[in-house]
Amino acid sequence: MRAIILSITFVVGLTLVSFKSSQIDSSTVQDSIHYSREKHFKNVRQLTFGGDNAEAYWSFDGKLVSFQSNNKAWGLNCDQIFYMPTEGMDLSDGKTKPELISTGQGRTTCSFFMPGDNTILYASTHLGGKDCPKDVERSPTGKYLWPIYDSYDIFIADKKGKIVKQLTNTPGYDAEATVSPKGDKIVFTSTRNGDLDLYTMDINGKNVKQITKEIGYDGGAFFSPDGKKIVFRASRFKTEEEKKEYLDYLKQGLVAPTQMEIFVCNADGSDLKQVTNLGKANWAPFYHPNGKKIIFSSNHKGRRGFEFNLFMINEDGTGLEQISYDKVFDSFPMFSPDGKRIIFSSNRNNGGTRNTNLFVAEWVE
């Protein structure tokens, strides 16, 4: 079989960054909407059909999802925020476009419905300039790098895209915000103290509190179903050299995201515990509806750095189970509020292109 070039889009609450692999024989690559070993999925449906679509998060009533996309067919140069129903909208013709929530300027990320489902929060760089901020090339050492744009702030917009409130106005990166299922708190990542730490605030943006304090990248946080705990990904360092490299990159507004593990803590930051110890990149965690398990994305089993699948693990770090089986990329899992469905991003069924699309499935225990 002839060789092909594969690539994925790797997104972790920051920006969409293309990852290209070396040439792989196409006979080793399967392409499917639903792989036979994915026993927890039923009636898998593809929602988007082109570009890079990621971080799709449910509304409180479970009828809508917000997400970010850079689909050029929609006239986009970099990520913007949209929302759509998971039933009744067909985007497969390449012409239909969901409702734009963000301004269309700058770069956006990390949208999430607010209580009542009439407004959506998201992070945007548009106050720092109307153009897309510059992407980051691979470092001279070959490491993949993510930009930490200091022009990101967190906004709330109505479903017509009108900004009704700015939640952050502090120098540095403020993004990766999600809302507690209780509707009372927001957790987000900020560099306001010189490191990438987690903070919580009330739903109105007041009462900001720092909840992680160890050097390293703490991000991609979500509340547990009862709102009492937070799960997130973090980089921690075994040597002073690793820590120095992290801090040196951070001074340049960059992060090398190749080593991350899953952590949990109480919503106030207490009782911090490491859940995974798998090596490589473990990220995009989300609590199972029972509040005792965590689903996340990891490349720890992959022979190449870009092979990400979904895994589930008990909160105490036991019972690791592989959930998805695409040969390239599965990530950003989120259960619907009623626990009956799951949405995720994947490179499956993209015909060998770079497209990352959204898929929704019924969840089977």
CATH number at residue 205: 2.120.10.30
User: Domain residues for 199?
Assistant: 3-29+52-297
Cα Rg of the chain (Å, integer): 19
Query: What pLDDT was estimated at residue 140?
Result: 66
Query: What pLDDT was estimated at residue 271?
Result: 98
**DSSP tag of 12:** S
DSSP bridge pairs for 298 = 282, 309
For tokens 């196409």, name the residue.
26
Residue 356 lies inside a defined structural domain of this protein = no
Query: What pLDDT was estimated at residue 25?
Result: 36
Residue 359 lies inside a defined structural domain of this protein = no
DSSP bridge pairs for 82 = 67, 100
Residue 345 lies inside a defined structural domain of this protein = no
- Residue ranges of the alpha helices (H) in the chain? 240-251
Q: Are 356 and 328 in contact (CB under 8 A)?
A: no
DSSP bridge pairs for 198 = 189
Mean pLDDT in runs of 10 for the chain (365 residues)? 32 40 39 94 98 98 98 96 97 94 98 98 98 81 86 98 97 97 98 98 98 98 98 96 95 92 98 97 97 98 87 98 97 98 97 95 98
Query: What pLDDT was estimated at residue 27?
Result: 35
Residue 314 lies inside a defined structural domain of this protein = no
**Number of domains present in the structure of the chain:** 1
- For residues 88, 161, 166, 225, the Cα torsion angle rounded to the nearest 10 degrees is 0
CA pseudo-torsion sign 178, 48, 61, 154: positive
Residue 344 lies inside a defined structural domain of this protein = no
Residue 40 lies inside a defined structural domain of this protein = no
Query: What pLDDT was estimated at residue 304?
Result: 74
Residue 65 lies inside a defined structural domain of this protein = yes
What are the structure tokens assigned to 85, written together?
């129903």
Residue 340 lies inside a defined structural domain of this protein = no
Q: How far apart are CA 130 and CA 184, in angstroms?
A: 32
Query: What pLDDT was estimated at residue 2?
Result: 27
**Phi, psi dihedrals of residue 296, rounded to the nearest 5°:** -155, 170
CA atoms within 13 A on the CB side of 105: 10
DSSP bridge pairs for 41 = 363
For 90-127, give one letter per residue: b (16+ CB within 10 A) or e: ebeeeeeebbbbbbebbbbbbbbbbeebebbbbbbbbe
Closest CA to 331 of 314, 344, 347: 344
Query: What pLDDT was estimated at residue 95?
Result: 87
pTM: 0.92
Residue 187 burial by CB count (10 A; 0-12/13-18/19+): exposed, middle or buried? buried
